[in-house]
Amino acid sequence: MPPITLLALIIGIPSILLLAYVFIRGSTGLRRYILTRIVLTLPMVFILGTLVFFILRVLPGDPVSSALGPKGTPEMIASVRTQLGLNDPLIVQYGRFLWQMVTLKFGNSLVGGHRPIIAEMSERFPATLELIIPASVLALIIGIFGGTLAASKRKKVTDYIFRIYAVVIYSLPIFWLGLILQLFFGVKLGWLPISGRIDPIIGTTLVTHTNIYFIDSLITGNWPAFLSVLQHLVLPTITLGLIQSGLFVRITRANVIETMQMDYIAAARARGIREKVLIYGHALKNAMIPVITLIGLQVAILLAGAVLTESVFSWPGMGSYLVERISARDYNAVQSVITVFAMLVALISLAVDVIYSLVDPRVRY
Amino acid sequence: MADDILYSVRNLTVDYKTRGGIVHAVDNVSLDIRRGEILGLVGESGCGKSTFGKALMRLHDGPASIPNGELWFDGQDLMKVPMKDMPAIRGADIGMVFQDPMTSLNPVQSIMEHLTETIQTHEPKVSDAAAHARAEDLVERLGIRHERLKEYPHQMSGGMRQRVMISLALALRAKLVIADEPTTSLDVIVEAKFLDLLKELQEEFNLTILLITHNIGVVAEVCDRVAVMYAAKMVEVGSVEAVFADPKHPYTQGLLRSVPNIKLDEGDLYKMGGEPPSLLHPPTGCRFHPRCPKAMDICSREEPAFESVAGEQLASCWLYQKADGKQKVTNG
User: Is B125 a domain residue?
Assistant: no
Q: Which among B91, B107, B152 is the nearest to A271, CB-wise?
A: B91
Q: Which one of A262, A272, A362 has the shortest CB-CB distance to B121?
A: A272
Using left for φ > 0, alpha for ψ between -120 and 50, and beta otherwise, residue B293 falls in: alpha
Q: What is the chain B residue with the closest CA to A274?
A: B87
Beta strand pairing status for B76-77 and B233-239? Answer: unpaired
Residue A34 near residue A19 (C-beta atoms within 8 A)? yes
Residues of B in contact with A282 (CB under 8 A): 106, 109
Task: State pLDDT tens for residues B205-252.
Answer: 889 999 999 888 889 989 999 999 999 999 999 999 999 999 999 999
| A-proximal residues of B, 81-140, CB under 8 Å | 87-92, 95-96, 98, 100, 103-110, 117-118, 121-122
Separation of alpha carbons B120 and B114, rounded Å: 10
User: How many beta carbons lie within 10 A of that of residue B164, not counting itself?
Assistant: 26
Residue-level pLDDT at B330:
40
Contact criterion met (CB < 8 Å) for B107 and A361: yes
B39 inside domain? yes
Q: Which of A262, A271, A280 to mutate to test the interface with B (most CBs of B within 10 A)?
A: A271
Q: Please give the tally of structural domains in chain B.
A: 1
Counting runs of H as helices and runs of E as strands, what totals does chain A give? 17, 0
- The answer to whether residue B22 is domain-embedded is yes
Q: Compute the nearest-CA separation of A148 from chain B (Å).
A: 18
Length of chain B: 332
Nearest CA to A160 out of A168, A150, A169 is that of: A150
Select from B59, B107, B117 the Cβ nearest to the Cβ of A286.
B107
Do the Cβ atoms of A361 and B100 come within 8 Å? Answer: no
Candidates A264, A272, A277; nearest CB to B105: A264
Asked if the structure places residue B102 within a domain, the reply is no
Domain enclosing residue B268, as ranges: 5-93+172-320
| Distance from the B203 Cα atom to the nearest Cα atom in chain A, whole angstroms | 22
Quote the pLDDT of residue B327: 43
Q: Report domain A118-327's class.
A: mainly alpha
Query: Is A269 in Cβ contact with B90 (below 8 Å)?
Result: yes
Contact A365 B104 (CB under 8 A): no
Looking at the partner chain, which of A263, A270, A277 has a beta carbon nearest the beta carbon of B57? Answer: A270
Q: A residues 212-271 near B, CB within 8 Å?
A: 262-264, 266-271
Residue numbers of A between 273 and 292 with CB closer than 8 Å to B:
273-274, 277, 282, 285-286, 289
Paired residues of B34 in beta bridges? B5
Q: How far apart are CA B139 and CA B116, in angstroms?
A: 12
Q: If contacts are CB pairs under 8 Å, which of residues 47-76 in chain B contact chain A?
A: 57, 59
Chain-centroid distance of CA A119 in Å reads 20
Residue B310, Cβ neighbours under 10 Å: how many?
12
How distant is the Cα of A238 from the closest Cα of chain B, in angstroms? 33
Contact check, Cβ <8 Å, B87/A268: no
The helix/strand/coil state of A148 is helix
Verify whether the Cβ–Cβ distance A282 to B92 is below 8 Å: no
Q: Distance between CA atoms of A190 and A184, rounded to whole angstroms? A: 8
Contact assignment for B121 to A360 by CB distance below 8 Å: no
* Residue B328 included in any domain: no
Report, as ranges of residue numbers, the positions in chain B whose pLDDT lies below 50: 325-332
* pLDDT per residue of chain A (365 residues) written in tens, 0 to 9: 555 566 666 667 777 777 777 777 766 777 777 778 778 878 888 888 888 888 888 877 777 777 777 777 888 888 888 877 888 888 888 888 888 877 777 778 877 777 888 888 888 888 888 898 899 999 999 999 999 999 988 888 999 999 999 999 989 988 898 889 988 998 888 888 888 888 878 777 877 777 788 888 888 888 888 888 888 899 999 999 999 899 999 999 999 999 998 889 989 999 989 989 999 989 998 898 888 888 888 888 888 888 899 988 888 889 899 998 888 888 888 888 888 888 888 878 778 877 777 778 777 65
Q: How close, in Å, is residue B181 to chain A by CA atoms?
A: 14
341-360 of A, contacting B, C-beta below 8 A = 359-360
A212 phi/psi in degrees, rounded to 5: -85, 105
Neighbouring-strand partners of residue B227? B41, B237
Interchain proximity A282–B59, CB inside 8 Å: no
CA atoms within 13 Å, Cβ hemisphere of B180: 24
CA distances for B128 relative to A47, A269, A299, B105, B117, angstroms: 54, 22, 40, 21, 10
Comparing alpha-carbon positions, the chain B residue that sits nearest to A275 is: B87
- Type of residue numbered B280: L
Q: How far is B185 from chain A (nearest CA, A)?
A: 14
Nearest Cβ partner for A268 among B88, B106, B155: B106
Question: CA-CA distance, A99 to B118, in Å (whole number)?
Answer: 60
The ipTM, to two decimals, is: 0.85
- Distances from the Cα of B122 to the Cα of A68, A135, A266, B114, B304, angstroms: 78, 40, 17, 13, 44
- Residues B4-40: tens digit of each pLDDT: 899 999 999 999 988 888 889 899 999 999 999 999 9
Measured CA to CA in angstroms, residue A34 lies from A20, A27, A360, B237 at distances of: 10, 11, 16, 61
The confidence score (pLDDT) of residue B70 equals: 92
Residue B330 lies inside a defined structural domain of this protein: no
What's the pLDDT at B226? 94
Report the alpha-carbon distance of residue A252 to residue A290 in Å, rounded.
9
Facing A274 at nearest CB: one of B57, B87, B106: B87
Cα(B44)–Cα(B235) distance, integer angstroms:
12
Find how far residue A330's CA is from the centre of its chain: 22
Considering only CA atoms, which of A273, A303, A295, A280 is closest in space to residue A355?
A295
Q: Are B71 and B86 in contact (CB under 8 A)?
A: no
Least CB–CB distance from A271: residue in B103, B155, B168? B168
Smallest CA–CA distance from B178 into chain A, residue: A270
For the CA atoms of B257, B259, B264, B265, what is the dihedral angle to 10 degrees? 100
CATH number at residue B203: 3.40.50.300
Chains A & B: contacts with CB separation below 8 Å:
75
* Residue in A272, A286, A361 closest to B152 by CB: A361
